[in-house]
């Protein structure tokens, strides 16, 4: 089980993590939360679910490329030029969906942090993280968001780019991010496999 998820009887998945892996995952999830930002619901909307449902979000895409990758336009080609009509449709769609999407991404990352915080690490042996089905869904979302963010920072635009990462020299300053990107991909892949078995 070390380093990869395995299915649990009755649903869910488990993975053995050492203290360093727990620390890295928690740090990455907290950084993702900081990137996504705090929730927007304040004042009357915070207490009223109907007001939250109809609260309008931003209409412009984020300026940060990583956030733009996490919250892409719904119309037009990613990174491509949009005509006036596509921009208007994308702005309208974003206005009514981005707040919910941000909230879900926050909940996924918070779910990851909370599950890691609940672990009791026993010496050098680490701990076994057991996730129920809902926890698996949150982890899949958070792992995907972390990979998208790191991939954007590494300027990976397609699978061919990720092949180049394997050939980076050890002294390349991107090497730690590359290792995290590849490791998160392995975790994500084994979690999907565990849930499908």
Banded model confidence at residue 62, pLDDT cuts 50, 70, 90:
confident
pTM, to two decimals: 0.85
Domain-located, residue 82: yes
Domain-located, residue 96: yes
Reduced to 3 states (helix: H, G, I; strand: E, B; else coil), residue 47 is helix
Residues in CB range of 36: below 8 A, 6 or more apart: 67, 70, 102, 105, 106, 109
Q: Which of 119-128, 155-164, 170-179 has the lowest mean pLDDT?
A: 155-164
Domain-located, residue 85: yes
How many Å apart are CA 76 and CA 125, to the nearest integer? 49
Domain count for the chain: 1
Domain-located, residue 126: yes
Instruction: Read off the pLDDT of each residue in 8-15 and give the average, rounded to a whole number.
Output: 94
Name 129's bridge partners. 15
Domain-located, residue 133: yes
Domain-located, residue 1: no
Residue carrying structure tokens 């007001």: 51
pLDDT value for 1: 44
Instruction: Read off the pLDDT of each residue in 157-181 and give the average, rounded to a whole number.
Output: 82
Residues in CB range of 73: below 8 A, 6 or more apart: 61, 82, 86, 90, 93, 94
Instruction: Read off the pLDDT of each residue in 15-21 and give the average, rounded to a whole number.
Output: 93
**pLDDT tens string 114-143:** 999 999 876 667 899 999 999 999 999 999
Residue carrying structure tokens 């999830």: 29
Question: What tokens were used for 75?
Answer: 């119309």
Domain-located, residue 108: yes
Residue span of the structural domain in which 136 resides: 6-196
pLDDT value for 23: 94
Domain-located, residue 89: yes
């Amino acid at each position: 089980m070390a380093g990869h998820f395995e299915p649990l009887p009755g649903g869910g998945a488990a993975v053995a993590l050492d203290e360093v892996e727990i620390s890295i995952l928690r740090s990455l999830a907290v950084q993702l939360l900081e990137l996504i930002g705090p929730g927007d619901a304040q004042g009357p909307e915070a207490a009223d679910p109907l007001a939250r449902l109809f609260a309008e979000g931003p209409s412009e895409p984020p300026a940060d490329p990583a956030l733009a990758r996490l919250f892409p336009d719904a119309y037009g080609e990613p990174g491509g030029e949009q005509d006036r009509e596509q921009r208007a449709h994308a702005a309208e769609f974003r206005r009514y969906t981005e707040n919910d999407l941000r909230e879900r991404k926050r909940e996924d990352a918070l779910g990851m942090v909370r599950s890691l915080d609940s672990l009791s690490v026993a010496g050098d042996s680490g701990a076994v993280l057991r996730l129920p089905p809902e926890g698996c869904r949150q982890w899949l979302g958070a792992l995907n968001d972390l990979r998208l963010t790191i991939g954007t920072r590494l300027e990976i635009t397609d699978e061919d780019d990720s092949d180049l990462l394997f050939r980076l020299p050890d002294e390349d300053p991107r090497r730690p991010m590359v290792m995290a990107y590849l490791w998160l991909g392995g975790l994500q892949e084994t979690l999907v496999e565990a849930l499908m078995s």
